[in-house]
Amino acid sequence: DQQVKQNSPSLSVQEGRISILNCDYTNSMFDYFLWYKKYPAEGPTFLISISSIKDKNEDGRFTVFLNKSAKHLSLHIVPSQPGDSAVYFCAASASSSGSARQLTFGSGTQLTVLP
């Protein structure tokens, strides 16, 4: 049972336009969400996170939106750049697990930004 789902395996966007990556979750105990970016032959790198007490978090060109009622989050990249081309993973965790909290990852979305 996939608790974190990224239903779009790939997304292509023109340079300068907005990229929107989506993620859905089923576990209502999840209260902390993260996005990771992964280039080929490298490990995932942390991009941005959001706690369930917020519905938006912004860091430069990257904004994450959280809709708790819909159990949905999205990552917006504006403007998109060719260097943003990578696989993006959504991840979630539950604070109720305390120090034992771990991340549950989605399957990833390959973003390609076309020049």
The least distance separating another protein from the CB of residue 115, rounded to whole angstroms, comes to 27
DSSP string computed for the chain = --SEE---SEEEEETTS-EEEEEEE--TT--EEEEEEE-TTS--EEEEEEETT-SEEEETTEEEEEETTTTEEEEEESS--GGG-EEEEEEEE-GGGGGG---EE---EEEEEE-
The least distance separating another protein from the CB of residue 114, rounded to whole angstroms, comes to 24
The least distance separating another protein from the CB of residue 27, rounded to whole angstroms, comes to 15
Nearer to another protein, 17 or 59 (CB): 59
Nearer to another protein, 60 or 98 (CB): 98
Nearer to another protein, 8 or 79 (CB): 8
The least distance separating another protein from the CB of residue 69, rounded to whole angstroms, comes to 23
Residues in contact with another protein by the rule CB under 8 A: 32, 34, 36, 41-46, 49, 89, 95, 98-108
Nearer to another protein, 27 or 104 (CB): 104
